[in-house]
Structure 1
Amino acid sequence: MSHDLPDGLPSRERIAELILRPRPHRDTFDGWQDFRARRGTLRPPAALSADRWGLLPPNRRADYDLFRRLTNVNLPLQQTPMSRKVSRLINRRLNGNVLNQDDPTLAGVMVSGSGNHGKTATVSSVTAAFEDTWLDLHRHLNPNAVGGTSDLHAPIAYVQTPVTASPKSLCQAILNFFGPTPGSLTLPQLVRQVALSLRDHGVRALVLDDINRLRMHRQDDQDVLDLIRALMSFQVTLVLTGVNIPGMGLLREAKWDPGARQWVMPPLESTRVHGLEVTQTERRFEMVELDRFHYGTAKEIQAFTDHLRGIEVHLRLMNAEAGMLTDGTMPEYLFRRSGGVVGILGRLIADGAQEAMDSGQEVLDEDLLDEIVIGREDRPTDTDREAEPPSSRAERRRGRNTVFDDRGTQPGTATG
């Protein structure tokens, strides 16, 4: 018997399943498939007023509150002007590479940015969407399958760079995506196994996340860079993500090609990556920076406000009204608190929504959000508050960006 309500509230069993289900990490095949299948499927319950909520049976009120808490802390991934730029580049590179029938070495993509800017979420989303399209194109069959085998079909392989990286540990991390790896393999054997696995599983793109874990002053990390460059000869597109890629030394030997607008990596000259037969074709990467929101022009302000509106319609607070996050000085306040960083903004709003439910306020405002601490530098200290005149806080809030204001006709200006 279903206990779903007409307004779409799932049964208690379904809510429990959503909360308690296993969450395999996406750096395994099963985890990646789970992420790909479930991304974007969580839908908020119908918005109920306090009066309508009061008409529910007591046990269903608890179910409703639990489900809306679940949705309030799982804010939707939205396309922003910054993430669209990244998505377009990755899509262009993936589609161009899978159609390329001549070049033995496929160009790759580097996605750089500071922490909490949404690099992993953006890259995972766009590559998962590519996998959906690729599987549909081939009716979920591996077009390169080897006869007589039953290899997994994995158009996308997502791998986290090992904390202490070496050629062997990176090879093992790639192989672990597909399942347990045989023990006691030499580096040449591991490299060969990686090449075979990428081919046999039909991998079209290899995502290496947290590439900033490499420290290029270490010999092992330089060997890993050689391995990464060699992987570009395996007919897969490399997508590298990390914090401050230009500053970590990964591109130290690369040269900028202004015509192609790409970083050109020199060909391998060492034999540190044993067992590989790689071409001497130049290895190319396009690098894109995933930036934060800015708030200096009308276009930038509109983009930030649109993002807030997308969050607002997802939240479920019973006293919330349209414009809760977008009217008055709230956009400026949220931008100041978050610095325009998507991850920090999401954490501030998600934590604020929980506090609004727990306190019974059931709406977000600046006073409530002032109590949410997301970083030591984010909130004035008690000493600062004591030294601040009582009126200054209100004056500070009244200060706002006036770029959208209609100032009307100026005195003495002709109107007709």
Structure 2
Amino acid sequence: MTMADRTPGEGGIVPFLRAGPPPDRTRVEGWRQWNEQRDSFIPAPRLSADEYASMSPRRRALHDLHRTATHVNMGLLETPMSARVTRLMRGRMRNNALNFAPGTRDGLMISGGGYLGKTETACDAAATFEILWRDLHRQLLPGPIPGTRDLFVPVAYCRTPVRATPKGLCTAILDFYGAPLPRTLNGLIRAVRDSLRDHHTTALLLDDITRLRLHREDDQDTLDLVRELMDLNVTLVLIGVDIPQSGLLRSGYPDPRTGQWVFPDLKTGKSYNPSAATQTERRFDLVDLDPFDYDTAEGMTAFVAHLAGIEDRLRLFRARPGMLTEGAMPEYLFRRTRGIVGLLKRLVEDGCAEAIESGAEELTPDLLSTIRISLGNLTDRDREAGEVPDIPEEDPGSPPKKPRSRGRNTVFDDRGAKAVDG
């Protein structure tokens, strides 16, 4: 059987297409569905040009569609920066989950610019932890009863509302569980506490936390509520764009001994909890998810290794080893994206689509120079909070720049004795 025979037949099922919308991770059913399916995509087979030419027109069209799906579903490629975040997050969730003493659990903040993969890195780490935690607890907790909802929800994922209020945040958390929404703020807070406890939730991920702007009292009260959640025996993971510069930590300071951010009690705002001003300090670890660095040998090596990982997943007929990693290509790709993995992914996706459509079947600086990186109309992202990065300017159609040459250091050259005026 040839590779061509393993592609969808004339009347066969197209295995790479998915019915319905993608899972909504802000709902418990969507989170479970995403967790179960996140590594299930099967990439297109690697075909030779001759095998492709031997197909019928319909099968070639289906294979091109499968190749396109492969390029836009490359999945999460680990980087040295994301690996650091993953190690810290998994360790924090594991340690807190095994701590049976009552009291505040240390939290974690994941900071970085837009399109750096903060959300996907955090969700992937949390999903891996959830699989482990479910396996460990099968012997202790009864399995789900047919016809009823699963009560065991180790991880909850929510997004901070654009216009944050304590009621809005409580609603977002309760919507994840599909729980009823009481009318009063006290009722909402009580329902959040009950849901976290009844579902045995050990980690709560709050995304887009830098939508909080602390010049508003509602935002200050919402942050006060976030801190209060740390007393519920859950690991609180806050994800946001450039957290240190957002104003979110303006009442906190880094402890030079531990590297953790220390938060004194909030003195402003009308907290729902009148005793908030006397609460003990809250502590978070702050970890940055940075873009690739191209100014050091180590950074360049990491970026080229990342490009090699992408290169291995492409399904272009004229692709070759070194297509993205040799010559002027690495520096060109870095200049176009500034090492931001989300922008790099978009450029490669659009470049592959153009390579298939035009018949070029390979990525070159000349082809990519015709591609403008466009993030579209992102209605679910808050530009004011920095969730949409600035895109490096590159005029489509302009020839790519040549690699920069590094001049010789002439500081210690002997230029001879100076001429004597006479």
Q: 1:265 to 1:334 in 2, by over 3 A?
A: same
* Partner of residue 395, structure 2: 380
* Partner of residue 205, structure 2: 207
Q: How many residues align?
A: 387
Q: Secondary structure at the match of 1:169?
A: helix
Q: 1:175 to 1:330 in 2, by over 3 A?
A: same
**Structure 1 residue 268 displacement after superposition:** 6.1
1:328-362 deviation digits (Å, cap 9, x = unpaired): 11111111111111001110001000000010111
Pairing of 1:136-175 with structure 2 (within 5 A) = 136-139=135-138, 142=141, 152-175=151-174
Q: 1:381 to 1:48 in 2, by over 3 A?
A: closer
Q: 1:309 to 1:299 in 2, by over 3 A?
A: same
**Structure 1 residue 280 displacement after superposition:** 3.3
AA in 2 matched with 1:399: R
**Structure 1 residue 189 displacement after superposition:** 0.7
Q: 1:195 aligns with which of 166, 170, 193?
A: 193
**Structure 1 residue 18 displacement after superposition:** 2.5
Work out whether 1:247 is the aligned partner of 2:245.
Answer: yes
**Structure 1 residue 142 displacement after superposition:** 4.5
* Partner of residue 402, structure 2: 397
* Partner of residue 223, structure 1: 221
2:16, 2:69 within 8 Å by CA — same for their partners in 1?
no
Work out whether 1:309 is the aligned partner of 2:308.
Answer: yes
2: CA distance, partners of 1:348 / 1:107: 38
Q: 1:343 to 1:141 in 2, by over 3 A?
A: farther
AA in 1 matched with 2:97: V
* Partner of residue 387, structure 2: none
* Partner of residue 280, structure 1: 279
1:352-380 deviation digits (Å, cap 9, x = unpaired): 00000010111111110000011674213
Pairing of 1:1-400 with structure 2 (within 5 A) = 8-9=6-7, 14-15=13-14, 18-102=17-101, 104-139=103-138, 142=141, 152-182=151-181, 184-267=182-265, 272-274=271-273, 280-374=279-373, 377-380=392-395, 396-399=401-404
Q: Secondary structure at the match of 1:397?
A: coil
TM-score by length of 2: 0.84
2:372, 2:395 within 8 Å by CA — same for their partners in 1?
no
**Structure 1 residue 150 displacement after superposition:** 5.9
2: CA distance, partners of 1:264 / 1:10: 57
AA in 2 matched with 1:379: E
**Structure 1 residue 19 displacement after superposition:** 3.6
Structure 1: runs of 5 or more not aligned: 386-392, 403-416
**Structure 1 residue 398 displacement after superposition:** 4.4
2:171, 2:188 within 8 Å by CA — same for their partners in 1?
yes
TM-score by length of 1: 0.85
**Structure 1 residue 318 displacement after superposition:** 1.1
2:350, 2:371 within 8 Å by CA — same for their partners in 1?
yes
**Structure 1 residue 123 displacement after superposition:** 0.6
2:108, 2:285 within 8 Å by CA — same for their partners in 1?
yes
Higher deviation after alignment, 262-271 or 22-31: 262-271
2: CA distance, partners of 1:276 / 1:102: 23
2:372, 2:396 within 8 Å by CA — same for their partners in 1?
no
Q: 1:16 to 1:40 in 2, by over 3 A?
A: closer
Q: Secondary structure at the match of 1:240?
A: strand
* Partner of residue 381, structure 2: none
**Structure 1 residue 271 displacement after superposition:** 7.1
**Structure 1 residue 282 displacement after superposition:** 2.3
1:133-152 deviation digits (Å, cap 9, x = unpaired): 1111112865899xxx9652
1:148-187 deviation digits (Å, cap 9, x = unpaired): x9652111100000111100110010000011533x5211
1:83-120 deviation digits (Å, cap 9, x = unpaired): 01111111121111112233500010001111111111
2: CA distance, partners of 1:27 / 1:335: 33
Q: 1:353 to 1:401 in 2, by over 3 A?
A: farther
1:108, 1:239 within 8 Å by CA — same for their partners in 2?
yes
1:47, 1:316 within 8 Å by CA — same for their partners in 2?
yes
2: CA distance, partners of 1:211 / 1:277: 20
Q: 1:34 to 1:381 in 2, by over 3 A?
A: closer
2: CA distance, partners of 1:16 / 1:141: 37
**Structure 1 residue 42 displacement after superposition:** 1.6
2:343, 2:373 within 8 Å by CA — same for their partners in 1?
yes
1: CA distance, partners of 2:7 / 2:203: 38
1: CA distance, partners of 2:318 / 2:282: 56
Q: 1:361 to 1:206 in 2, by over 3 A?
A: same
2: CA distance, partners of 1:229 / 1:307: 37
**Structure 1 residue 274 displacement after superposition:** 4.2
2: CA distance, partners of 1:142 / 1:369: 54
1:165-218 deviation digits (Å, cap 9, x = unpaired): 100110010000011533x52111110100000011111100000011111100
AA in 1 matched with 2:309: G
2:369, 2:396 within 8 Å by CA — same for their partners in 1?
no
1: CA distance, partners of 2:2 / 2:278: 60
Higher deviation after alignment, 33-42 or 334-343: 33-42
